[in-house]
Chains A and B, each alone.
Chain A
């Protein structure tokens, strides 16, 4: 395909994939928040090939019929390329009068949105935002409005490089990496595999709709989510004290949340109620999200600029996302100029984001921007702290394997018991190697020495079998990770006490459920055995495993069609679905994939305790 062509017309005179035509750069954000974006004309980018298309997501978004086979046909491929294979005509092109054939230029403009980014020297969001992405548009289907954006569509003036070096870059300029406006297929694949797994496991996340491949491993990665707003979209205007843009963006966001039925309350007496409700929703979301990140060992590099996360707590930009196999509490990513936050510091960063939203609510209500420190003890922050702990308790009861109704019983009637157990659990989870902090490939770390998933998986079945607790030596044998050295595993008096406490409190929780649900201890333990074997599966993905998997898939890629890649990603995420209530469906995959999948499983297994 060398030029933009009109899509074929079917017999009744309509395009078979007419919904694609609505993704044309137009987006309500453009008119509702005029100060929140930069607009670019765009041209068709030649030489693209559809490397991946997410049929499942496309069906959810109403882009293709629910009955559409998971197979590309020439017409669908053409639609995907016509819609998403584009590159912006940026400031460099305009200044240098780069000649572009008129027929290649799209009729509408595409926006790059402005948001705060701490790596920009300005630190107020005046120059920062989508540096190599544009928003393709939004579409509504099944009562949900979806935002669609693409990464790798050219260098915008909002990239750090453009502002640090004070020059406009040509798209693809080899002298600059991130600022050149391009993206690689590998980045798309990493997002694809990670986001599909995390999405299946209850995390909110951006998802990959399509990957378009070009020469030299370059690609355009198309992402979708029901609302792609980040806290940082608000924070730029907040920093600048620009109340009119801040109000516009808040109203835009609130309208979308209501439209998508994400908020229980949809009408408000006045602005004050509305904006404080927004702050409360952010508090709820970020307490829940940061607790889940901590409990599932997700490292997301939350920071004060609110750049690496969506407003609904969804994960965006998988470049720095990791899932640790163990609670590596001191891992820090080395970003050349500085180290990232640790997994434990994420809670405070999330709290600070909430504090900013209280400041925003106050600003929008009173018209005066007060110092953020004034809101440190606001009731919304107190709610955040309380709800965070509640989420931690709930997450732990879920991890043990209790059913939802059993979790409710424990949290309602035996909360202090759950908290006591959590304290003991935390003792083991956060135990660290005596080796201390050391350099790893992309940062620093201090190893965690215990694998909590192993003890949660094995304890109920061993207790069920022998009807007696484990000895301290046995307990240690099960829980020890491959990082633990002999000196880390010394059975001190304190550790012995904690081992006994862990088992005692665990069985007290079992006893509480047994009593309240009028069942037998064996029955509760058996159910925990079955559920925990799924939740705490031996092989769970980590950031490292995703990196190796993507390397493996890239090696295979020349021989993998877009459909085959879709099936692989689907099969892989199904295998990593750790929801015990989800009935697993074995996808009948061809023999050739089986070998590939076996390879992927063994990568996950080998990296299961890593970063």
Chain B
């Protein structure tokens, strides 16, 4: 599988992750689909997305909101694209929309068949087993505005991902505690950092941290 986990942050901070993403596609003039977490004002996000990735000589993009009905013709093009990017936003709302549109298995198949799947913040959390991380820590979490209880998501990797991590004691306390109670490793990335998965290879970009069995580890 080819996956890129973006935490967030400014364009400049993510240049290494962007380069890794383009390399993963390994193709001239690829087609990239942008799936926003919500259609609300997503046109502006799409515009920013296009502006950003046009710098990498990508010129073919699809805007594909999933919380409004879509037709199968455009959907087929999405599934044929070289990469799909899952945008940031409210993770609960995003998961609910993906599930309602029956897109979770389709995206899983897309990734398993070699399509490049990338996610930013909520989109990155979506690629893990469940979106529990969106509800942590209590002082910095997404609101479960759609009141969903089934938090299972794409389950493409065997770790959890926490974006916008701030290297501070109060975050450490929460994640050490969480990792004591759960078996999965949490990779916590500050803005500008992230993870690139290429088959069996796992590459950390920027200063990342891991929480496992109640301990914190620094990566890079």
Contacts and interface: CB of A to CB of B under 8 A. Distances in A.
Contact of B62 (A461, A538, A591): A461
A353 to B, nearest CB: 37
A458 B80 CA distance: 16
A478 B68 contact: no
B61 A474 contact: no
Interface in B37-80: 39-41, 43-44, 46-47, 50, 54, 59-63, 65, 68-69, 71-74, 77, 80
A530 interface: yes
Given A458-B71, A462-B73, A465-B62, A584 B39 contact: no
A175 interface: no
B61 A526 contact: yes
Interface in A559-611: 575, 580, 583-584, 586, 591, 594-595, 598, 601, 605
B77 to A, nearest CB: 5
B71 A478 contact: yes
B143 interface: yes
Contact of A533 (B63, B72, B145): B63
Contacts of B77: 461-462, 465-466
The main secondary structure of chain B at its interface with chain A is mixed
Contacts of A598: 145
A535 B61 CA distance: 18
Interface residues of A, number: 33
Contacts of B47: 530
A586 B65 CA distance: 18
Contacts of B152: none
Given A470-B73, A529-B61, A538 B50 contact: no
Contacts of B59: 464, 520, 522-523, 526
Interface of A (DSSP majority class): helix
Given A523-B59, A591-B143, A601-B40, A530 B50 contact: yes
Interface residues of B, number: 27
A539 B81 CA distance: 25
A592 to B, nearest CB: 11
Interface string A456-481: 00100110111000100010011000
Interface string B174-190: 00000000000000000
A164 B39 CA distance: 52
A534 interface: yes
B22 interface: no
A537 interface: yes
Contacts of B39: 538-539
Contacts of B81: 465
B65 A458 contact: no
B138 to A, nearest CB: 15
A598 B145 CA distance: 10
Contacts of A523: 59
A526 B31 CA distance: 12
Contact of A605 (B60, B68, B74, B145): B68
Interface string A368-390: 00000000000000000000000
A463 B40 CA distance: 25
A526 B145 CA distance: 34
B143 A530 contact: no
A477 B76 CA distance: 12
A458 B40 contact: no
Nearest to A595: B145
A523 B60 CA distance: 9
Interface string B140-176: 0001010000000000000000000000000000000
Contacts of B46: 530, 533
Contacts of A454: 71
B72 A477 contact: yes
A461 B74 contact: yes
B61 A533 contact: no
Contacts of B60: 464-465, 522, 526
Contacts of B71: 454, 458, 477-478
Contacts of A605: 68
A594 B44 CA distance: 19
A529 B40 contact: no
A3 to B, nearest CB: 46
A520 B72 CA distance: 28
Interface in A522-544: 522-523, 526, 529-530, 533-534, 537-539
A583 B43 CA distance: 11
Contacts of B62: 461, 465
A197 to B, nearest CB: 15
A586 B41 contact: yes
Please list the 5 inter-chain residue pairs (A to B) with the smallest Cβ-Cβ separation, ordered nearest first: A538-B68, A534-B43, A522-B59, A533-B43, A474-B73
Interface of A: 454, 458, 461-462, 464-466, 470, 474, 477-478, 520, 522-523, 526, 529-530, 533-534, 537-539, 575, 580, 583-584, 586, 591, 594-595, 598, 601, 605
